[in-house]
Amino acid sequence: MKHDRRTELETAHWKGRTRPYDLIKEGVAALVIITVLVAALSTLFGSPDDKQITFKQWAVAAPSDFYATAVQELAGSSGTAGYGAPYNTASDGVNLGPLHLAKFMGVTHPVDTVNDFVITPLTTVVNSGPVATALKQWQSSDSKTQSTWATNYDNALTKVNQDATKVPTGNYGPVPLLAQGLLTMAEAGSLDGALLSQGNYFQTDNTKQTLFLGDGNYFNDQSTASNLQGNTWGMMNETGRYPGQAWLWLYSFWYQIPPFNNGDNHPFGANADAWIMLIMGALSLGLICMPLIPGVRSLPYKIPIHRLVWKNFYQEENL
Amino acid sequence: MWTTRLREGWQNNLPVDKLLPDTQPAYVASWIYMFGVATLASLGVIIGSGLWLAFEGASWYHYSNVGHFVNSMHFWSVQFFFVFMVVHLWGKFWMAAWRGRRLLTWVTGAIAFVASIATAFTGYLIQTNFDSQWISYEAKDGFNSVGIGSRFNVTNFGQMILLHVAFLPLVLGVITVIHVLMVRARGVVPPIDAFNKELGDRS
């Protein structure tokens, strides 16, 4: 009964002492003060804006890495080629126990690394004689032969630490020339547009560019240098000396601790992305429903921080 | 008629003296109360600077000094917004501000917090710089892992910019308006011990 009476009193319109108040004045004052503070910080510090990485930049700065990545795309050994849903069916992807949610949702953004990343872009430019011949040879061959050539060359290149000059002769078909053709195209700056457009005029989807960029080491090295990797709280960091998305600290936190920081740990580390999304979904729901959670909802009564908040009122009312 | 009931319901629950009061309970005199209005003020700066950026285009701030300044206003107001909102949220938790049938006020506030994170996140994805390239590449794995990536594709710039400037601000705006109206309609929650004398104890 006492509980009901307390709720009734807390619900009812306040009948105790009041003080003058002007909501509009408070709002306008807050808006002016915040605007001035924000303008001051903007003038003093500006905002982060590290230039985007282009394929031209990658190809010029790290040609061996670009070349090897192009070969991996042809051989189907790149990260994207073996990713699974939503890009392809090469693997089942991560799981939550028996649940393969990505696989269940299917291939909604199909990516064919051979054609989307290498062959189609090469067909959009006038290639040199050898590259044009190589392209014809590739396109007139069956997929089994193409796969054999690309895998042979990918393995050979890996063995010599991606140094194409040291690859022994072998059954590679046109693969070295195709990779060289794509490198030349990237160095000239024409691959960026070709990857985005994929034969269309209007295009706003950067999925293929981003995936290709991420398959190489260059992009990852740049992010490591900027402390943006997941194992260094990457999602909440920002380039330069600027605050990032600090509100993602709890999401990033899980990636720093066992078992989620060990990709070899099964089932949690190897499927960390899915488990952490699940944990964060549950915690977000917990935040929204916090007043309904026994124990948690009692904390404000057990740890009386409210005595500090309403210190003056309690003193004035002898409470 | 439902329109009559709506008007009467509004008049009964949210008359102008509740919507724009000229007095407040005496206990509304702590520094913690500043953070709610400071959050809204920051949101105002975010919307203003964001509208300017929207009119000029996503790449404007890369080559224009004015654009860089407006982008910086957007950036820093977001930082302020989250700091103020988190302090506001913690304050309301320790005040057990859901008391007195104010559960939905808490719920709408917490949903606004989650919606704000989603809105800010999509903003980081459309910076059209290295950071947005990396965030989209890195974040795709999380969304893909639970199937969300099949519909919410963080590497699709067109989808992200539309969500950031249209859908998510609309969602956040509506939730915020509901939250503020609920605060006005219910009034500011009284102190936990405010009625101890009346009830004859400190429980």
Per-residue pLDDT at A1 exceeds 80: no
- Predicted confidence band of residue B203 (pLDDT cuts 50, 70, 90): very low
Residue-averaged pLDDT of chain A? 93
Cβ contacts of B21 within 8 Å, gap of 6 or more: A21, A23, B184
Q: Does B99 touch chain A (CB under 8 A)?
A: yes
Nearest residue to A96 via CA among A239, A316, A275, A269: A275
The pLDDT of B103-116, averaged and rounded, is 97
Question: Which tokens go with B50?
Answer: 């964001």
Looking at chain A, the whole-number percentage of residues with pLDDT higher than 90 is 82
B141 touches chain A (CB under 8 A): yes
Chain B contacts of A222, Cβ < 8 Å?
130, 134
Nearest to B126 by CA among B77, B70, B60, B66: B60
Q: Rounded to whole angstroms, how far apart are CA atoms B130 and A239?
A: 8
Distance CA A173, CA B92 (A): 68
Percent of chain B exceeding pLDDT 90 equals 88
For chain B, which residues make up each domain, given as ranges?
Answer: 33-81, 96-190
How much is the average pLDDT of B37-47? 97
How near does any CA of chain A get to the CA of B173, in Å?
17
Mean pLDDT calculated for residue range A11-34: 94
Find, among A290, A74, A39, A40, the residue nearest to A181 by Cα.
A74
B-contacting residues of A 127-186, CB under 8 Å? none
Selected residues 85-104 of chain A with any CB under 8 Å from a CB in chain B: 85-86, 93-94, 96, 101-102, 104
Residue among B72, B94, B135 whose CB faces A305 most closely: B94
Kindly state the greatest CA–CA separation across chain A. 94
ipTM metric? 0.94
What number does CATH give the domain B96-190?
A: 1.20.810.10
The pTM score is 0.94
Q: How confident is residue B44, by pLDDT bands cut at 50, 70 and 90? A: very high
Any A CB within 8 A of B59 CB = no
Question: Is the CB of B61 less than 8 angstroms away from the CB of A226?
Answer: no
By Cβ distance, the residue of B25, B114, B131 closest to A14 is: B25
Name which of A211, A235, A300 is nearest B138 (Cβ-Cβ): A235
Q: Is the pLDDT of residue A216 over 90?
A: yes
Q: What is the pLDDT of residues B149-196, one digit of tens each?
A: 999 999 999 999 999 999 999 999 999 999 999 999 999 999 999 998
**Residues of B with Cβ-Cβ distance to A211 under 8 angstroms:** 137, 155
Segment A220-262, tens digit of pLDDT: 999 999 888 888 888 788 888 899 999 999 999 999 999 999 8
Tokens 């004015």 correspond to B66
Task: For A109-141, write each residue's pLDDT tens digit.
Answer: 999 999 999 999 999 887 788 999 999 999 999
Residue B12: Cβ-neighbour burial (10 angstroms; 0-12, 13-18, 19+): exposed
Query: Is A277–B143 a contact, with Cβ atoms under 8 angstroms apart?
Result: yes
**Nearest-Cα residue of chain A relative to residue B121:** A245
pLDDT at A199 over 80: no
CB contact under 8 A, A30 and B197: no
| Domain ranges across chain A | 2-46+290-316, 55-224, 226-288
Asked whether the beta carbons of residue A51 and residue B129 sit closer than 8 angstroms, the reply is yes
